[in-house]
């Protein structure tokens, strides 16, 4: 279950903007800032269950492989009992996750890994990812669906 952190945002011509403590005139919306862009697309009917599951598997492998930015000190809790893949050391589980992550990106194909990483792993919204990649507006959803379909094939999600 995802965390719920509801925040009131003012809607502007550029998109949602955070409002301060004082009320402003105009339209506003309550948004869940704890929801991932992938979760939002799925909840609003833009991604079917298969594509959502593929994205979640990719994100889980990304996080298990510890590919995100780190600080020099690790504050991860020490686990006494192993999780999935018992019999493997934490390092071996991390290497296996990295291998699956790399394989999934390779299966997605060249040019599609950028949108996958930005939306699924880095948590960027589609408009931000499209702008960073210098893509036309509203083109990212189609490309993301294509990439997620290939990732679902890699993970053998039926």
What confidence tier does 90 reach under pLDDT thresholds 50, 70, 90?
Answer: confident
Decide: 148 and 116 in contact? Cβ < 8 Å.
yes
Host H or E run for residue 10:
strand 6-12
Look at 2-11, 76-85, 130-139, 145-154 and tell me which has the smallest mean pLDDT. 76-85
- Residue 74 or residue 93, greater confidence: 93
The set of residues, in sequence order, having a beta carbon less than 8 Å from that of 58 and lying 6+ positions away, is 101, 104, 116, 120, 121, 151, 155
Contact at 8 Å (CB) between 154 and 143? no
Residue ranges of the domains in the chain? 1-35, 36-68+87-158
Mean pLDDT of 49-65: 93
Averaged confidence pLDDT in the chain? 81
């Amino acid at each position: 279950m995802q965390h719920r952190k509801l925040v009131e945002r003012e809607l502007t011509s550029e998109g949602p903007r955070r409002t301060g403590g004082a009320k402003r005139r105009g339209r506003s919306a309550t948004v869940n800032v704890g929801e991932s862009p992938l979760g939002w697309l799925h909840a609003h009917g833009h991604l079917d269950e298969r594509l959502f599951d593929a994205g979640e598997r990719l994100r889980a492998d990304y996080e298990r492989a510890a590919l995100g930015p780190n600080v020099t000190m690790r504050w991860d809790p020490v686990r006494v009992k192993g999780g999935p893949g018992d019999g493997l050391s934490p390092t071996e589980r991390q290497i296996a996750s990295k291998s699956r992550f790399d394989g999934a990106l390779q299966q997605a194909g060249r040019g599609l890994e950028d949108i996958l990483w930005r939306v699924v792993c880095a948590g960027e919204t589609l408009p931000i990812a499209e702008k960073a990649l210098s893509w036309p507006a509203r083109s990212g959803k189609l490309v993301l669906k294509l990439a997620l379909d290939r990732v679902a094939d890699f993970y053998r999600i039926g």
